Amino acid sequence: MDKILEGLVSSSHPLPLKRVIIRKVVESAEHGVDEAQCEAMFDLTTRLILEGQDPFQRQVGHQVLEAYARYHRPEFESFFNKTFVLGLLQQGYHSLDRKDVAILDYIHNGLKLIISCPSVLDLFSLLQVEVLRMVCERPEPQLCARLSDLLTDFVQCIPKGKLSITFCQQLVRTIGHFQCTSTQEKELREYVAQVTKVSNLLQSIWKAEPATLLPSLQEVFASISSTDASFEPSVTLASLVQHIPLQMITVLIKSLTTDPNVKDASMTQALCRMIDWLSWPLAQHVDIWVIALLKGLAAVQKFTILIDVTLLKIELVFNRLWFPLVRPGALAVLSHMLLSFQHSPEAFHLIVPHVVSLVHSFKNDGLPSSTTFLVQLTELVHCMMYHYSGFPDLYEPILEAVKDFPKPGEEKIKLILSQSAWTSQSNSLASCLSRLSGKSETGKTGLINLGNTCYMNSVIQALFMATDFRRHVLSLNLNGCNSLMKKLQHLFAFLAHTQREAYAPRIFFEASRPPWFTPRSQQDCSEYLRFLLDRLHEEEKNLKVQSSDKPSESLDCSETSLQEVAGAGKAALLTEVPCTSDGEKTLIEKMFGGKLRTHICCLNCRSTSQKVEAFTDLSLAFCPSSSIESLSFQDPISSPNAQDEDVMQASVSGPLEESEVYNSAIAAFVSDSVENEKSTGILPDEPHCTENTSVPTESSKILVNKVVPQKPGSETTPSVTDLLNYFLAPEILTGDNQYYCENCASLQNAEKTMQITEEPEYLILTLLRFSYDQKCHVRRKILDNVSLPLILELPVKRTNSLSSLSESWSINVDFTDINENLAKKLKSSGTEDAFCTKLVSYLLNSVVVHSGISSESGHYYSYARNITGTEPSYQLCHHQPETLAVASSQSHLLGRESPVTEQDLENKELSKEWFLFNDSRVTFTSFQSVQKITSRFPKDTAYVLLYKKQNSTNGLSSNNTTSGLWINGDPPLQKELMDAITKDNKLYLQEQELNARARALQAASASCSFRPNGFDDNDPPGSCGPSGGGGGGGFNTVGRLVF
């Protein structure tokens, strides 16, 4: 019969005929057949099954074998013995390799046929050994899946006792070696099905023998934590995660994170590979285990691992959001990684460029699941933008993309952030390397944050973009000098010419940091700017004194101390009343120095006192809302009642008092009392009565204070012009702020006015945004939006015959003369003696923005553009003739927004190129972004403004014969500077090469890969770090005052 069957299957007869004959052969198995005939038939069918040339032959072999084995069970038991099976497993069958899946399928079917025979027990014992050997040989997924099928059907073949643990461990290793190189969907589905069979086998063993679970998991961790570069464990290990009981999470994570034998490099590798598991389509609970491990590492303060892994894998996790099968888990892990990474925006900024395209893609498909996902993603993005609010250039496209989705409330955002934050910050982060790339497309160089130094960076960039100032600094010949100005020149030169994307200003920071500023703590940028300008001014003045042949000639300029406007510190002043001659002025005086006259009139005896002081910036308090619409006042010089020539009759009632010393360590802020006074139009002040001018009572009038009726329902946004008007408006000194009049020899009500008598080339305005709440004893930030005029008109009052008075308290008159004699010297003659107001036009040059809701934290960045002294001039409004200026209304005396047409602004100024400087990041922006910054990001408010005098002809450049070389660019650098820059650029190229080599080894390195210089204030945690613009806590941060 075997010969007939063999001839039949190899013949060329029609297939239907063959099937009929095969049916007869199968039926013949029911009849008696001798043992030899049975064995011959078993040999033939085995050969057909294992070596059949086509599916028909293999099918015939299975049918005939099953029929003969069923009816001739003893003969088949004798044939399918232990020796035969062992030979198949160890040697194969003829030309068939022992690892061929057909052999396992044959054994599987054979076991089914003799399951009721006693000899099967011997086969089970044999297979317990052989299957262990097979998994140790790392079979391919297909073979391993067939083995899993066999062991699932015949659990008796699974090794027992200690061997079961070994078997599970080896099976885990085998899974870790699985690979699929195909990209065809059908083959990928088969591959996933094969892996699923193997993982299900492990699950069944873990349930049957719980003692095998923990060793198996240990083997999983050993595989994924391996630092062997020659082996990359398969992502198919993710298939095992769904079978691990969730109740074990706490115990397992604690064991892993506290095990001293687990090195940081191994843990980093393990966590990275677990995150890779998010790509496995059928894996469940991977996100839960990944998040649990992240939390476990945070609990034991292994932040270096968390930082490394987050920065390395955050983009991969984000990319998994594109795939529906793994999207829920990927979003969960992404949310945790971003929300817990609160010390730096670096991780969030890695995915920011990809958010808009993802949102647009899912918005377009219109699926309900996509909409639900976008709502969740939008909430996450809003939380991150809230926490790192100082990057409008990055966030504006995202805000536009997600504007149709609900925005979470501030309280919800704070709750989410507080629940996700790490509890502390690693102290070893400062030693990590920076990851830098080439110079940005803007051509500008950023400044690396050295640890909460954004206050310095924003100020330096604003000064650097003050083109005339920069060019004069770069043109100075400072060879052989180690001054602060030399260091500033060095810094400016590098900002202008380095190839680096960002420069680390360490030397300049150490040299310019005020001694009372705590290193690595957030500080007030306005206070730093005042200190810096004062240092540069004093330094240059002292150098002039030292180099002078006649030191005594400079005594008038060196009696010094910083002057301060009486009261609330309205203006930041130079350390002296500067010399009159331009040639004797320092560079700071020529660029930023102006003069301010303070005039106080006693309302009892009408005597007046005047004082002129130099300033480098004006600190503008916020005016009460009732004063925004209009500021109605009359100053004693320009009002009709003050124009009588009797105004000039003076009597000196006492000697000149010493001026106050300005303490630059105390930053100006609006106290609670100031706010209370201002609400009624009164500013507290401490007057300095030094020179009294008596005004006849018949021409005297009591002047009104600043309070004016508010228009019903008016809620206009105040502008810088309004704040400047408020600064210059008269103040009535009453109550606790009464003025001590030497003429009356008592405290009296008085009126104080201030007038700018000499304008600076660059006008620096500081908006006093930080107030002190005396009830709560906390410092608060005033978050009011302020309109920033692109063109500002500054009212400057000048006089001819009183020019000597405008220089100082110490006027050149004989103070032994009083009353009549002094009146003769100061008596006016017609309009020549009258004060005239000139409106000087200024163009907005730069804006330093403070991001945050608290004075104790925040982040600084700046907007700036290039403006030179040769900007084209266009008149915004016509000045009144000088003869009319005397009687002009207060609106002409005050700075105001310019009545230019919208078209003029758009064509001439709005088109100018603006830059956004945010520490190491520099991007293009527009004036519209500057204008909308607070409306788009309520915590981001303009703080320090720098205006450039328009079409300046009387600045330093007009007196410098080389100024013509600077019109179209910066002056050429001195050789010493150029050599230093060239050397650093070469070093930079070498660093790039070394970094490229190091990145290849970084994954296996245990060293920290965190980069404190990449973004804002990473080390230590402070105002720009965990609170970065958020105004509150994180990492147990000790609050620092912004000022």
Q: Is 780 helix (H, G, I), strand (E, B) or coil?
A: strand
Angle separating helix axes 82-91 and 120-136, nearest 10 degrees: 10
- Backbone φ and ψ of 860, nearest 5°: -115, 140
Q: Is residue 710 packed enough to be buried (19+ CB in 10 Å), middle (13-18) or exposed (0-12)?
A: middle
CA dihedral defined by 663, 667, 668, 673, rounded to 10 degrees?
-100
Give the number of other CB atoms < 10 A from CB of residue 401: 19
d(CA 126, CA 667): 87
**Quick one: residue 801, left, alpha or beta (phi over 0 = left, psi -120 to 50 = alpha)?**
alpha
d(CA 974, CA 489): 10
d(CA 44, CA 68): 12
User: Which residue among 144, 383, 454, 525 is the active-site one?
Assistant: 454
Q: Is 698 helix (H, G, I), strand (E, B) or coil?
A: helix
Give the number of other CB atoms < 10 A from CB of residue 954: 13
Structure tokens belonging to residue 414: 């704070």
The sign of the torsion formed by the CA atoms of 626, 628, 634, 636 equals positive
d(CA 435, CA 447): 14
d(CA 463, CA 946): 9
**Alpha-carbon radius of gyration of the chain:** 42
Q: Which of 149, 910, 903, 963 is nearest to 475 (CA)?
A: 963
d(CA 193, CA 77): 33
The sign of the torsion formed by the CA atoms of 583, 589, 591, 595 equals negative
What residue spans of 829-896 are helical by DSSP H? 882-885, 890-893
d(CA 636, CA 182): 90
User: C-alpha distances in angstroms, 25 versus 75, 80, 803?
Assistant: 18, 21, 131
Instruction: Clarify whether 454 is annotated catalytic.
Output: yes
d(CA 845, CA 463): 10
Tallying the residues shown for the chain, one arrives at 1043
DSSP for residue 664? T
d(CA 236, CA 956): 72
Instruction: Clarify whether 859 is annotated catalytic.
Output: yes
Task: Evaluate whether 914 touches 929 at the Cβ level (below 8 Å).
Answer: yes
Structure tokens belonging to residue 493: 């030169």
Structure tokens belonging to residue 437: 């790339």
Q: Which of 49, 60, 47 is nearest to 8 (CA)?
A: 60
Q: Is 949 helix (H, G, I), strand (E, B) or coil?
A: strand
d(CA 365, CA 920): 38
Give the number of other CB atoms < 10 A from CB of residue 108: 17
User: Which residue among 859, 892, 1008, 1024 is the active-site one?
Assistant: 859
d(CA 663, CA 564): 8
Judging by DSSP bridges, how do beta strands 762-767 and 940-949 pair with one another? antiparallel
Residues contacting residue 599 through CB under 8 Å, at least 6 positions apart: 608, 609, 610, 635, 636, 637, 752, 753, 754, 755
CA dihedral defined by 711, 712, 717, 723, rounded to 10 degrees?
30
What residue spans of 865-926 are helical by DSSP H? 882-885, 890-893, 902-908
DSSP for residue 282? T
392, amino acid identity: P
Active-site residue set: 454, 859
